Amino acid sequence: MASPRKRTALVQYPPSQAYVVESLRTAFARQLPDWSLLTSPAPDGTKPDLQWSDYDELDWDIAMDDRTQLNSFAIRKALIRKSNLAHTIAMYLSKNPDSPLRRAAPPTFHFTCSFADELDELLMDDLYEVDQSFTDADQGGEGKWWILKAALADKGNGIRLFNSRETLEDIFQEFEPESDDEEDDEEDRDEADERPEQSRAAMFGADTRVDATQLREWVIQEYVASPLLLDPSPSSNSSGTKFHLRVYVVAVGGLAVYVHHPFLALFASSPYTSPADTANESGEFDLSAHLTNTCLQTSVLGEQAPAISVSTLQGMRDKVVLGGPHEGEKLGEERIGLIEEGVREAVREVFKAAVGAGSSFQALPNAFEIFGVDFLVDSEFQVSLLEINACPDFGQTGAELQSIIDHLFSCTIDVAVKPFFARQREAAESSEGAEELVDTLERLEVGGTRGLQEVLRMEISRAW
């Protein structure tokens, strides 16, 4: 009986993500030692059995062969584009009003806008509820803070906070391209000098500015005003700091969805203060207490970014809550379990929503994908879904927690890669092969408290 041919995996990432290649090399050496890992296409043109590469490097012609596998779905904008995600959730909740996703999805509005003078009409129509919050605040009611995000920007670019019509208008004036006319430039500078301090409160620096005429799609999301506050340092003596959870989610074929444990906790670079108390004496709005994106901290704060900014939720059980109704109490196992369940519930529902979103999400039976899903936890330990990232930046984990990524890749190989190729071999039908797979999953704690936990399994008829 001829021995099976040696399979190959093509792994291609830009130099800035060399750590992904090395982590995959380690994972394949442990999980699939008989495979060859290539970092460039075979000279003889031989098709790889598996493409595990950056999205821009994938050869989609090869993907049409259902005997090959790739690490990305072709179409998933229902999840990964901020405006599409808002629409996906809104449509799902209109048909499933009792879904737990309603509690996990902050009020979000998507719209298109290139210039500040378009806002008047938008605030009377698509953004009516946002404008109503301005009116309530003007009449002495409880005002709201909102966060603006460019639908196609990443790494924190274009993110701004506002609580008034004037501030929102100033944000879009900031994002408009500079005029080539010197007189216009001088006039714009004069107008900027005359603006009140609050209207300049959205400024965070040129590093995060975007061009509104190029990035026309936006979302406005209600700001979670009472985040869970903890101390990112080993001690618990400092002021509370805001953080968000980065949860890695593995979607396989058409369709099984797994949540990887533990969750990363990415902290802001300075102690939390309410948005109303954040503007400094010059009227500038320092977002360092509010934004927990480590890429943003690095690009804007540089060497001033904190050395300790990433931990794991499951490793913070002894942390003391430093604000809100549970101030002074330990986070504890029970509350961590509550947060974990909220995350799993939200992930399950949002993928069900994506399946129902039509052509904007198409699962492929010969594909899998790792998503980075971001959640915020409030002071009552409820989770809010912020966004879903394709091709997540695994570098946010940091060197100290690199083992989490190594473990994620190993688990992904076992739930996505091995079963796919096992089905192509008659040996996969033997009890020996089945027992080997079960042993591997148990060793990696798939379905346990660490590793991958399945949250959704369904058959999608159009998955190919």
Question: pLDDT tens-digit profile of 202-212?
Answer: 434 445 667 77
The model's confidence at residue 199, banded by pLDDT at 50, 70 and 90, is very low
Residue 45 has phi, psi (to 5 degrees) of: 80, 10
Lowest mean pLDDT among 311-320, 405-414, 454-463: 454-463
pLDDT in tens, 95-134: 999 999 999 999 999 999 999 999 999 999 999 999 999 9
Note whether 262 and 454 are within 8 A (CB): no
The model's confidence at residue 313, banded by pLDDT at 50, 70 and 90, is very high
Percent pLDDT > 70 in the chain is: 79
Give the pLDDT score at 322. 94
Q: Using the predicted structure, report yes or no on whether residue 336 has a pLDDT greater than 60.
A: yes
Is residue 119 reached through a cis peptide bond, with omega within 30 degrees of 0 on the bond before it? no
The model's confidence at residue 270, banded by pLDDT at 50, 70 and 90, is confident
Pairing type for strands 69-70 and 50-51 reads parallel
- For residues 151 and 261, which has the higher predicted lDDT (pLDDT)? 261
Tell me the chain's radius of gyration from C-alpha atoms: 24
Give the pLDDT score at 197. 38
Q: Report the run of H or E that residue 145 belongs to, with start and end.
A: none
- Residue-wise DSSP of 95-107: H-TT-THHHHS--
Token pair 């003078």 in the structure block, residue? 117
If you count them, how many residues does the chain have? 464
**Which residues in 59-215 belong to E strands, given as ranges?**
69-70, 108-112, 146-150, 160-162
Residue 390 has phi, psi (to 5 degrees) of: -85, 160
Pairing type for strands 383-389 and 36-38 reads unpaired
Note whether 294 and 246 are within 8 A (CB): no
**Following CA atoms 50, 53, 56, 58 in sequence, which dihedral angle do they give, to the nearest 10 degrees?**
-10
- For residues 381 and 210, which has the higher predicted lDDT (pLDDT)? 381
Q: Using the predicted structure, report yes or no on whether residue 251 has a pLDDT greater than 70.
A: yes
Pairing type for strands 264-267 and 243-252 reads antiparallel
- CA neighbours within 13 Å on the CB side: how many for 149? 24
Q: Which amino acid is at 59?
A: D
Helix ranges restricted to H, 318-401:
332-355
Q: Which amino acid is at 194?
A: E
Count Cβ atoms within 10 A of the Cβ of residue 54 and give its class: 0-12 exposed, 13-18 middle, 19 or more buried: middle
Q: Using the predicted structure, report yes or no on whether residue 302 has a pLDDT greater than 60.
A: no
pLDDT in tens, 143-179: 799 999 988 776 667 788 999 999 999 999 988 876 6
**Alpha carbons 75 and 77: distance in angstroms, whole number:** 6
pLDDT in tens, 413-455: 999 999 999 987 654 444 444 454 444 444 444 444 569 999 9
Give the pLDDT score at 198. 38
- Residues whose CB is less than 8 angstroms from the CB of residue 244 and which lie 6 or more positions away in sequence, other chains included: 265, 266, 292, 374, 375, 376, 377, 386
Tokens of 156: 């924190």
Q: Using the predicted structure, report yes or no on whether residue 13 has a pLDDT greater than 60.
A: yes
Residue 420: closest CA among 73, 96, 66, 127? 66
Residue 368 has phi, psi (to 5 degrees) of: -145, 165
Q: Using the predicted structure, report yes or no on whether residue 354 has a pLDDT greater than 70.
A: yes
Tokens of 302: 């540089």
**Alpha carbons 243 and 413: distance in angstroms, whole number:** 30
Pairing type for strands 264-267 and 451-457 reads unpaired
- pTM equals 0.86
